[in-house]
Amino acid sequence: MNRVMSIATSDSGAGAGVQADLKAFLRCGVYGTTAVVATTAQNTVGVKDIFPFPPEVAVKQIEAVVEDIGADAVKTGMLFNAGIISAVAGAVRRLGLPNLVVDPVMVAESGATLLEPEAVETYRSELFPLARVLTPNVNEAFAILGEPVDEGKIEEGAAALYELGPDAVLITGGHTSTGTDLLYDGERFERIGGPLHPSVNTHGSGCTHSSALASFLARGFGLVEAARRARAVAAEAVEYGLGEIGAGAGPVHALGGLLEREGR
């Protein structure tokens, strides 16, 4: 079985973060492992507090998993500060971890800030150049570039992000008017569309998407096919979002479609 590691933060409400990643890994048929870099006091309404761990905590977890279980792909989620990002980048480089999907989580579904401002430059200089794929949503993409969001300039934004060093950039479309993902590999743009499911129950959709992408890369799919499959998994997770969980934006349900097809 292929193995995928999530290097990210714990969500106590289990809608996003490493909890969402593990659900997505299960949905995509891979074995998921984790390196937890911080924990949140969080529910569907909002993020109450964030408690980052010392950077060496992340490194020790990564090393322990790799030396025994290994990894066919890695995805990073919320890393919160420059020290953690730098430590993770160092471990990825030193251990030669493959198929790195970097999801530069910056803001929660509730609007809470999940990345210290000074950490953006560390992302740009240390982690993005190691990525097989960088997966910002449109708001994150333009924030990284220091520009106002402009849907008419998404291709220019993807090209500018590519210049920061990743092998490819996938700007996810959940926050755009069309819902279409844009993939750029330095040579061509590929637009990846699919069904849209208008819903407020989208907590964890970005985590699910990037984890699914890492899973399909680990399984050996080419970049475009992996991106298409990841979008389909994320869209289905939104379709089956759990509105009955909590008073705020409900969590996506990565296994909802499978369970329904099995009559459960």
Cα separation of the two ends of the chain: 25
Q: Is 247 exposed, middle or buried (0-12, 13-18, 19+ CB in 10 A)?
A: exposed
CATH number of 3-261: 3.40.1190.20
**Cβ contact 58:204 at 8 Å:** no
pLDDT in tens, 31-52: 999 999 999 999 999 999 999 9
More confident of the two residues 261 and 43? 43
- Per-residue pLDDT at 197: 86
252: tokens are 């996506």
- Per-residue pLDDT at 243: 93
Measured from the Cβ of residue 178, the count of other Cβ atoms closer than 10 Å reads 12
pLDDT at 261 > cutoff 90: no
- Per-residue pLDDT at 262: 82
pTM: 0.97
- Per-residue pLDDT at 43: 95
Domain locations in the chain as residue ranges = 3-261
Give the mean pLDDT of the chain.
Answer: 95
- Per-residue pLDDT at 135: 98
Q: Which of 18, 83, 80 is closest to 54 using CA atoms?
A: 83
pLDDT in tens, 176-214: 677 799 999 999 999 999 888 888 899 999 999 999 999
Q: What is the distance, to the nearest Å, from the Cα of residue 170 to the centroid of all Cα atoms in its chain?
A: 11
**Cβ contact 101:135 at 8 Å:** yes
Residue 201 CA to residue 240 CA, distance in Å, equals 9
- Per-residue pLDDT at 107: 82
Q: What mean pLDDT do residues 93-117 have?
A: 90
Helix (H) or strand (E) holding 192: strand 189-192
pLDDT-above-90 percentage for the chain: 87
More confident of the two residues 178 and 233? 233
